[in-house]
């Protein structure tokens, strides 16, 4: 019988990382056998968040001002969403500029020089250009020329997707540190004539530096992420890609701005965020009483309250800043993490839980010991 090796995979077995060869026989069947043992103990590095940073543009757009543009009111926006104002980037201020500002602050807090950054991941749905990646512009701005830089597109969940990817790449030993950034210029993809969406979104950026943790330091305890591609129709920008390129005929059809079936998204957001948060809390060996701070996606105060209720975490341990910034998609949880960190909402040794939800649909969560 002819047998050849098709692929390798790695798995944990009795606290050891085991390399497994996937074998295929000439008859076409597959078999799995233990090929070689890499080490007698798990060789994963613990990964900590060494610094955070954020940036929001100077210009404030209040509910009052919006109510002069579309048929809405401060009362409706505050009671249905909790949002009071949002920030709007200047015409010449791009996603990469905001990302760079946030990144510099995170690097400063982490005590890591830009030239020593090894990996840059930018989570965004509003890149400076379709290609190259916004992360490459950030790399250039920072002068992190030794880094690998790329973007990910997971909408509001992107920052925690980036956290999981970076955590894995550091814990495996491939990189020693990573700069992860959530940055958006949503004002560029907002339909300013649609009151159902234009009151919700804003611009900004948040960043975190991840690196190998020292033994006495906190670490990222557990991460979770998921997607449901059956629900792409609930929240999207239909045009601007290969399915519907921009042409002179459709340029004014509002195909290049955010569309959302808000009520449906609301329902899924509550359920998915609750499930994702519960998974990381359980995997981290925690209970609700052990959590010093929950940092949720900042889309709607009613969603945040519903999640806090379901997780049995009191409201005073849930961080909220959407009243100031609205929904900044991938940037929202990253800005909230930085503001919570710098305002002393938690301290070294505390357990925190981050949880997000967005277009895709996508969702993610992380439990972190600070
Ligand atoms: O970041 C990604 C995840 N996104 C989310 O999680 C967002 C989830 N969804 C939501 O936050 C909420 O569904 C919204 C805030 C978007 C909307 O709140 P809602 O309570 O679901 O309102 P609705 O869409 O059912 O609209 C209720 C009413 C409608 O009027 P009628 O049909 O009852 O007469 C709307 O036309 O409110 C009207 N309306 C407004 N009125 C004043 C919708 N937008 C506005 C507005 N001002 N800006």
Q: Which protein residues are within 6 Å of ligand 1, measured from CB?
A: 72, 76-77, 80-81, 156, 195-196, 199, 262-263, 265-266, 269, 299-300, 303, 327, 357-358
Active site residue 327: yes
pLDDT score recorded for residue 42: 55
Return the ligand 1 atom nearest residue 72 CA: 47
pLDDT band, very low/low/confident/very high, at 41 (cuts 50, 70, 90): very low
Q: Which residue matches tokens 């757009």?
A: 61
On whether the CB atoms of residues 300 and 294 are closer than 8 A, the answer is no
17, pLDDT greater than 60:
no
pLDDT classification of 309: cutoffs 50, 70, 90: very high
In this prediction, residues 52-67 reach a mean pLDDT of 98
Residue 212, judged by CB atoms within 10 A of its CB (0-12, 13-18, 19+), counts as middle
φ and ψ of 297, to 5 deg? -55, 140
Mean pLDDT of the chain: 90
Q: Which of 48, 156, 198, 293 is catalytic?
A: 156
The mean pLDDT value for 60-69 works out to 98
Hey, which of 74, 76, 80 would you mutate to test ligand 1's pocket, going by the most ligand atoms within 8 Å of its Cβ?
A: 80
Helix (H) or strand (E) holding 291: strand 291-296
CA of 81 relative to ligand 1 center, distance in Å: 8
| pLDDT > 70 fraction of the chain, expressed in percent and rounded | 88
Which ligand 1 atom is nearest residue 196's CA? 44
Reply yes or no on whether 156 is catalytic: yes
Nearest CA to ligand 1 atom 12: 262
CA distances from 245 to 190, 191, 249, 252, 360 (A): 18, 18, 10, 13, 20
pLDDT tens, position by position, 223-232: 999 999 999 9
CB burial of residue 87 (10 Å; 0-12, 13-18, 19+): buried
Compute, in angstroms, the gap from residue 197 CA to the centroid of ligand 1.
8
Which tops the pLDDT comparison, 189 or 14? Answer: 189
| pLDDT tens, residue by residue, 74-115 | 999 999 999 999 999 999 999 999 999 999 999 999 999 999
Given pLDDT bands bounded at 50, 70 and 90, which one contains residue 290? very high
pTM across the whole model: 0.89
pLDDT in tens, 267-286: 999 999 999 999 999 999 99
Domain architecture of the chain: domains with CATH: 3-37 (no CATH), 47-212 (3.40.47.10), 219-369 (3.40.47.10)
Band of pLDDT at residue 65, cut at 50, 70 and 90: very high
- Cα angle at 98 between 268 and 74, to 5 degrees? 55
pLDDT digits (tens, 9 = 90+) for 119-155: 999 999 999 999 999 999 999 999 999 999 999 999 9
Q: How far is the CA of 262 from the centre of ligand 1 (A)?
A: 6
Q: Which ligand 1 atom minimizes the distance to the CA of 197?
A: 16
H helical segments located in 83-212: 95-110, 134-142, 158-171, 195-198
- Among 154, 196, 265, which is best to mutate for testing ligand 1, by the most ligand atoms less than 8 A from CB? 196
Residue of 124, 182, 202, 263 to mutate, ligand 1, most atoms within 8 A of C-beta: 263
- In the reported structure, the alpha carbon of residue 260 is separated from the centroid of ligand 1 by a whole-number distance in angstroms of 10
Catalytic residue among 63, 300, 321, 327: 327
């Amino acid at each position: 019988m002819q047998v050849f090796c098709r692929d390798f995979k790695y798995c944990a077995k009795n606290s050891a990382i085991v390399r497994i060869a996937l074998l295929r026989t000439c008859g076409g069947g597959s078999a799995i056998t233990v090929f070689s043992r890499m080490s007698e103990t798990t060789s994963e590095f613990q990964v900590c968040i060494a610094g955070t940073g954020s940036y929001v543009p100077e210009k404030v757009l209040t509910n009052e001002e919006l109510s002069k543009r579309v048929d809405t009111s401060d009362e409706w926006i505050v009671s249905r969403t909790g949002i009071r104002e949002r920030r709007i980037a200047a015409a010449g201020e791009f996603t990469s500029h905001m990302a760079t500002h946030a990144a510099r602050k995170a690097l400063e807090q982490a005590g890591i020089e830009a030239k020593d950054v090894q990996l840059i991941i930018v989570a965004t749905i509003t890149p400076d250009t379709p290609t190259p990646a916004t992360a490459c512009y950030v790399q250039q701005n920072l002068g992190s020329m030794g880094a690998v830089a790329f973007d990910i597109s997971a909408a509001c969940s992107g920052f925690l997707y980036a956290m999981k990817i970076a955590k894995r790449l550091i814990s495996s030993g491939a990189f020693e540190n990573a700069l992860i950034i959530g940055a958006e210029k949503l004002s560029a993809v907002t339909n300013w004539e649609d009151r159902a969406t234009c009151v919700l979104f804003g611009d900004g950026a948040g960043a975190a530096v991840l690196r190998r943790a020292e033994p006495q330091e906190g670490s990222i305890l557990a991460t979770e992420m998921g997607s449901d591609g059956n629900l792409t129709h609930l929240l999207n920008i239909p045009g601007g890609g290969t399915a519907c390129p921009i042409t002179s005929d459709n340029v004014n059809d509002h195909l290049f701005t955010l569309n959302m079936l808000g009520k449906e998204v609301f329902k899924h957001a509550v359920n998915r965020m609750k499930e994702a948060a519960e998974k990381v809390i359980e995997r981290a060996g925690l209970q609700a009483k052990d959590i010093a701070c929950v940092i949720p996606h900042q889309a709607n105060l009613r969603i945040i309250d519903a999640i806090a209720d379901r997780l049995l975490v009191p409201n005073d341990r849930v961080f909220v800043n959407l009243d100031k910034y609205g929904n900044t998609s991938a940037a929202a949880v990253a800005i909230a993490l930085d503001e919570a960190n710098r305002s002393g909402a938690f301290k070294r040794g505390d357990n925190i839980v981050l949880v997000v939800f967005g277009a895709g649909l996508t969702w993610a969560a992380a439990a972190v010991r600070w």
